[in-house]
Structure 1
């Protein structure tokens, strides 16, 4: 009997101890890994076509992290990549309109990972004041552009992916419309850009574009928006997102030439653009981002990328006409803090 009583007392003490531990556990937060403090200036180098969504994203980031100030630096993606790789300029985030610039120009010396986060397509933009606005359509646009009184433009293929993608679209048009002189009539006749063909692969030589005639070339594609709106141009090659964000009218082109669909990836690959930055291969338009190795505020840069590829960034990109890649693609040594958001 005494033994039974001793056992019951012992059990009571154990239950009491467990109860007390449970109470303490409810009042004290579970230990967590201390996250780095996100503060200070966050420098974001980004493609000009990301200006509108990134302004919105920057505001959301500063609201989430009150101690931060986001400095947006828009320019042609190729130029920005070279600023980092050749001039060792510091950026906490690099977001490119062509993800291949990251493995092509930054890996491994200036980056060892990147994510893909958005898509786009090429369109031909115009306004109500453009010449032949009542005639142009997806079937005859190239005949309108070759008219001597029409002013049209694209961005510099050596500085801006939209520039070399414009040339890809024009070259792809030859096979789609069954006219093998489209490129020479539109581009060759109005610039120093030439094209050669070997075994079904077309190489556009664009290192020295030297526009003339009715073509104009500017460092980045978003500069062409102002020229269109002011009447300085009739037509300009842009991404659809830029057209949507600036309320421009545009011609929706066939997927076979607008660089929007993986279904036509093999067709796109038949066009190469020779630029000062190297040979650019025709691919579907996909945006990429990374935190360069020389970032001065890498923790904040990573937090910005995390917001970009998470639900907040996805909603912003989608609302601005740039469909997000969901989940984001992750390549290289993706940091553990964002790896769960990638595939």
Structure 2
């Protein structure tokens, strides 16, 4: 595929990246309109800074492209943190850096910094049916009309939206994962009451994330009267819960799905995302059929007088873990005015 007639190649090649608390995903844009290519996933913990991770990826690109290699002119950096100001710190990882210094160190003409869920939200209009699994609602995805929302339990919990406008798709980034989590029944009220003995504020991320699942599991143990339960990692809870051999882990996953459903319904109401609610992040895809047999959809719709409103909204699980890279690519194109 070659650049479209009339589209400047001045900003290419470009680099796109999606950085969470665990992994940094990098991709290459050879020219305007190109699909994201040469994707590599690098563990954040193995690099002391974003500069180190970018340089490691570029070394791989130089080896891959040989004499055809050109240094990238721009970078769209999607980060799991709030992105205001020059100084940036990942919420759930050790990277702390200056965006202006990083741009200078890499010799870039521009460095576009986005919240990671801002990038994932921008990917939604471009997702294909092969990248999704729909659950309920009226109408098929992709291609939903109006506002779209995305929620992603990964290392943390991301929330964002995207709106169509005459200038293209406009992302609505935020920190919705830190909104206060609410219970829907007596058992959940007991869970949250226990967690509040340790944390003054129980946000959605406090329980509905990789860092939160162990907290949720310990609360389930206490409320269920299970004494002396070991502290498990999120990976262990998922593995034991899905195996059916550990009833407390299984109940923890069931509570996770139910609470996530109620939270997702709140987000849908807040954003008016009648075009669809998408579930991203790394945890839910690992749950497989357990998720689709859970109370998620029931709790998503259980909003009293607005049940019918929510029944019409489709939910879709994003099965492609690299989707945010295409959102970062769209951000670069819209920055240039290539997509209007």
Q: Do these two structures clear the TM 0.5 threshold for a shared fold by scoring above it?
A: no
Higher relative contact order (CA 8 A, sep 6+): 1
